[in-house]
Amino acid sequence: MDLQLTGRIALVTGAGSGIGQHIALGFAAAGAKVVVNDINAEGVAQTVDAIEAQGGEARAAPVDISDLAAVEGMIAKAAEAFGRVDILVNNAALLSEHTMYLETDPAACEREIRVILFGTMHCTRAVLPGMIERGYGKILNIATDAARVGQEREANYSAAKGGVISFSKSIAKEVGRHNININVVSPGATNSPMRIGLQEALKEKLGEAQWLAREEKVKRLYPLRRIGEMEDVTNAVLFLTSDAARQITGQVLSVNGGFAMVG
């Protein structure tokens, strides 16, 4: 299926590494021009270089999305460079701690919520006026199944992502009349750098044999008996931000191997 993304302008937050970087590269491979956002300027430069190396076109936007003024400036510069933003993917997130809620640092909790929830809201606020004026736009927000079914040791992260889901549904109802689609992709466990880092720390703590046994138990929780890969998420994002999905809005698509079958 030709998703007809050639010539579209896509802005991806948190694209300096991991899933966000993979999504940005996916858009470029599909023919879109990409604005690469991340607070990590070095990571942004690496993603831009990778896109240009494969013949694509990209612009760097090393901005802290928890700062609304900085986000508004980023969108203005993207419009100067490419004329508009057709697609926004709100992917930026951080998981500061992987511990029980009462053991978490309140400051870390606030930072997670500011980046994940407020960052999504800021970017959406900044791109919507242009999308409404043009009568066209696609916004795709990355959530997590932890926000849908709960996950111990990730209460702050889950709460912020749960807010993203509710926000997405509400805004989809507000702007659908302007031909703007807003959807959510909700990954389960995915072999991203974030998960790999957590698993490496766990392996060091448990020892390789015990860690392998634990990993097999985790896989048995998934009907497809495998952990997701970043390309699984990217494929879903590209589809939902294409006109092939023009009749889909306000929906949450779990890309989770069947781990949580949420109605």
Burial of 143: CB neighbours in 10 Å, binned 0-12, 13-18, 19+: buried
Are the C-beta atoms of 158 and 151 separated by less than 8 Å?
A: yes
Angle at CA of residue 245, ends 125 and 256, nearest 5°? 85
Q: Which residues are catalytic?
A: 157
* 221 φ/ψ sector (left φ>0, alpha ψ -120 to 50, else beta): alpha
Residue for token pair 């849908």: 148
Instruction: Kindly provide the residue ranges of all beta strands, DSSP E only, lying in the chain, ordered along the sequence.
Output: 9-12, 33-37, 58-61, 87-90, 137-142, 180-187, 252-255
* Rounded Cα distance, 262 and 253, in Å: 10
Q: Which residues, 6+ apart, have CB-to-CB distance to 205 below 8 Å?
A: none
